């Protein structure tokens, strides 16, 4: 991955991702899709949805980067009114790498498995 400049990682008061991204696109090293790098901060509404925007048509994930620009993980940005996992943000149309299924109204099998691994 080429140098992407400064990327800041934020979380809100509830620990949800709130990211400021760079303009442009790059290939996600995890899922291989061309992804948009955001140049805005994600704000969250009281019902847990991102406010005032949705990801561009056809782009279902972005990159969550550490401050030094190294790849950390693929992060799915949920679209309004679409079922999404409360932990990772995957949706019906954009599952976790390797696949997942719903084990609860807002929890996917990949994240439920992580919780079981920690127990």
Residue 45, pLDDT score: 60
Rounded to an integer, the average pLDDT of 40-58 is 50
Domain ranges for the chain: 1-81, 83-119
Strand, coil or helix: 62 = strand
| Structure confidence by residue, pLDDT tens digits, 61-109 | 544 443 444 444 444 444 445 677 878 777 777 778 788 999 998 899 9
- As a whole number of Å, the end-to-end CA separation of the chain is 35
In the chain, the percentage of residues whose pLDDT exceeds 70 is 26
Distance CA 83, CA 106 (A): 7
From CA 101, how far away is CA 119, in angstroms rounded? Answer: 20
pLDDT at 29 over 80: no
């Amino acid at each position: 991955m080429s140098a992407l400049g400064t990327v800041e990682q934020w979380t809100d008061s509830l620990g949800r991702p709130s990211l400021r991204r760079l303009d442009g696109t790059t290939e996600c090293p995890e899922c291989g899709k061309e992804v948009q790098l955001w140049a805005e901060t994600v704000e969250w509404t009281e019902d847990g949805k991102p406010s005032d925007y949705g990801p561009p048509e056809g782009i279902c994930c972005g990159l969550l980067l550490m401050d030094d620009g190294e790849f950390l993980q693929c992060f799915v940005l949920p679209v309004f009114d679409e079922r999404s996992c409360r932990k990772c943000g995957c949706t019906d149309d954009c599952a976790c790498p390797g696949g997942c299924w719903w084990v609860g109204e807002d929890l996917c099998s990949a994240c439920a498995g992580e919780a079981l691994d920690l127990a």
